[in-house]
Chains A and B, each alone.
Chain A
Amino acid sequence: MSFNINDKGFYGAFGGAYIPEMLYPNVEELCQNYLKIMSDPSFKKEFDQLLKDYVGRPSPLYFAKRLSEKYNTKIYLKREDLNHTGAHKINNTIGQILMAQRLGKTRIIAETGAGQHGVATATVCALMGLECIVYMGEIDIARQAPNVARMKMLGAEVRPALSGSRTLKDATNEAIRDWINNPLNTHYIIGSVVGPHPYPDMVARFQAVVSEEIKWQLQEKEGREKPDYVIACVGGGSNAAGAFYHYLDDTDVKLIAVEAAGKGIHSGESAATSILGKEGIIHGSKTLLMQTQDGQITEPYSISAGLDYPGVGPMHAHLYKTGRAEFISITDDQAMTAGLELSQLEGIIPAIETSHALAILNDKKFNNNDVLVINLSGRGDKDLQNYIDYFKL
């Protein structure tokens, strides 16, 4: 059994391209070309070079000694937080901007929730001198002012999404509508492993550099390529897809996906999609999503803006349904505590998204000789105000 995508664009029952006909030519163009372009030596060379010189890869695989002592197990942190712009998001935007150039596109659109993917997109557009429009929910614009300012400083136009609940899912709808209205010159840089095929696969492949590096880095440090566990947080799921990618079909390696339980799974304010979601269609993909009985998509909640997406990438829906990955949900409180703990034990302030992954150390028992790799997907600078408010710092 393979846990990767099949040639029809599905992970098991999940994925596909449930898109209006207006988007078909764009998506088909990408479908026909993405693998060809990605395997072209000149593309690979440019991608690798930018990841090295501009993003700062490889990101370290750091043995967290004090954290390991506390939990009596061996914990490695994959330091995606040290990437340029502060998270794993840039791996994908570098890849997609090179893709857009090769497809002859001159105008870039993106959606963003907290602003991390928007900043990563605005960054690569500045780097390549391409026009950049970022859709962001009106409510998110108000609560993420520093990232809005960063995008503007980088030369992007930030357009408010005024429809629906005026958050990430609506920003995604607006970006898709923009793409319908501008089918010829525009490339849509989706920020996670969501959306119609081939996006989930393309984004996973750009993020796969994370597990590619883990393999050789762990070999150097532990004399083995395979950890016992790979652990990552999941909103849409791009950092988890990258950390899992090269271990997907290697069932010796246990995969743990950590979702946001918000104020409690059944509190009505949660983003635990695997547990609360049902099979359906969101943003062109068949996957698990939070919805009413009538099939209307509902608004999730998490203290972490990067995890409050009502769906999950089709790869993860498949990993959940098949039991290949274990899905654990972590509440706001558990995550915040874990974020503070990492700060004080290791001197690393993590993004609140990442804090969810760290919180499972308190939730699940590991053996003292287990080797864990936790994907430290982003740094906490952007979340400082949240930490300040929560801990009354």
Chain B
Amino acid sequence: MNRIQTKLKENKKLLSIYFSAGYPSINDTVSIIENLEQNGVDMIEIGLPFSDPLADGPTIQASSTQALKNGMTTKVLFDQIKDIRKTVTIPLIIMGYFNPILQYGVEAFCKKCRQTGIDGLIIPDLPVDVYNDQYKAVFEKYGLINVFLITPQTSVDRINFIDSISNGFIYMVSSASVTGGNSGFGAEQTDYFKRIAKMNLKNPQIVGFGISDNKTFTQATEHTNGAIIGSAFIKHLSNNGVKNINQFVSTILR
């Protein structure tokens, strides 16, 4: 069983953290991952930086741009994390836009993920139907879980379709927004979380976008299996570097 699937079976609300590889400094990647695990984070999304991150707000854009300036590339990332499984046991996901993966070669990329011990991928601009027609077989060949997004605007039929081709979790985008957009959830989000929970999907749901503290984490996970924090953690890194990651995590989990 894939580490993501095993983790999802634990009876707890999962905290997943996103950061841009190569930020704040080029060689921080491994130490951030190790620190996050040591402080009780359940899953990590390693951001593969891209020059034109369409779905991201200013915080992640800026960290992505800085990471590229620092010299981060797909190859550098794989070199940095080649021994990551010697020290880290929690699920690791690479989140990146499709073009850098396409240039690396989709199969070569998947193979490298497998060798490194990456468990899954989130590729926001790889559409569900293109994945299903062209890439599903190769992802499965290398045991990788591809995670799809749904939003409050996604139709019931489409959610059911996405559920049918997913085998890990469904990434619920909390509201119509790019990352880092909103602070705080209202009735609209709660209704959406409840509505999806009632669908009894075969895949668990994890909420992302707009989660920044204990309050939003608690709200987001009331009706779901977990939540993902990105921009708020990157802000923490901007202000503190890789120090005091324990403090950040403890303010979320309290």
Contact = CB atoms under 8 A, between A and B. Distances in A.
A164 B61 CA distance: 8
B103 A22 contact: no
Given A19-B127, A20-B54, A295 B178 contact: no
A173 B52 contact: yes
B99 interface: yes
A296 B68 contact: yes
A281 B51 contact: no
Interface string A134-161: 0000000000000000000000000000
Interface string B137-157: 000000000001111011100
Given A180-B176, A295-B74, A295-B104, A22 B55 contact: yes
Contacts of B216: none
A82 interface: no
Given A280-B99, A280-B103, A18 B125 contact: yes
A21 B99 contact: no
Nearest to A296: B51
B169 to A, nearest CB: 14
A296 B176 CA distance: 26
Given A163-B65, A294-B75, A22 B149 contact: yes
Interface in B125-139: 125-128, 130
Contacts of B241: none
Contacts of A295: 50, 74, 99-104
Contacts of A16: 127, 130
Contacts of A294: 73-75, 100, 103-104
Contacts of B103: 278, 280, 291, 293-295
Contact of B52 (A21, A164, A181, A184): A164
A319 interface: no
Contacts of B130: 16, 18
Contacts of A183: 151, 153, 176
A282 interface: yes
B149 A282 contact: no
B43 interface: no
Interface residues of B, number: 42
B177 interface: yes
Given A163-B61, A164-B51, A281-B102, A181 B158 contact: no
A248 B177 CA distance: 40
A103 interface: no
B61 to A, nearest CB: 5
A20 B153 CA distance: 13
Interface in A13-28: 16-22, 24-25
Interface in B83-129: 97-104, 124-128
A180 B68 contact: no
A248 B25 CA distance: 51
Contacts of B54: 19-20, 173, 176-177, 180, 283-284
A18 B127 CA distance: 6
A279 to B, nearest CB: 8
A279 B99 CA distance: 9
B158 A297 contact: no
A278 B181 CA distance: 33
B149 A291 contact: no
Nearest to B50: A296
A279 B148 CA distance: 24
A169 B53 CA distance: 11
A182 interface: yes
A25 B155 contact: yes
A297 B154 contact: no
B178 A180 contact: yes
B181 A181 contact: yes
22 contacts: A18-B126, A20-B149, A21-B150, A21-B151, A21-B154, A21-B173, A22-B177, A24-B154, A25-B153, A25-B155, A164-B61, A177-B54, A177-B178, A180-B177, A183-B153, A184-B153, A283-B52, A284-B54, A295-B99, A295-B102, A295-B103, A297-B99
Given A280-B99, A281-B125, 9 more contacts: A19-B127, A22-B173, A162-B58, A164-B65, A170-B52, A184-B176, A280-B103, A295-B101, A296-B51
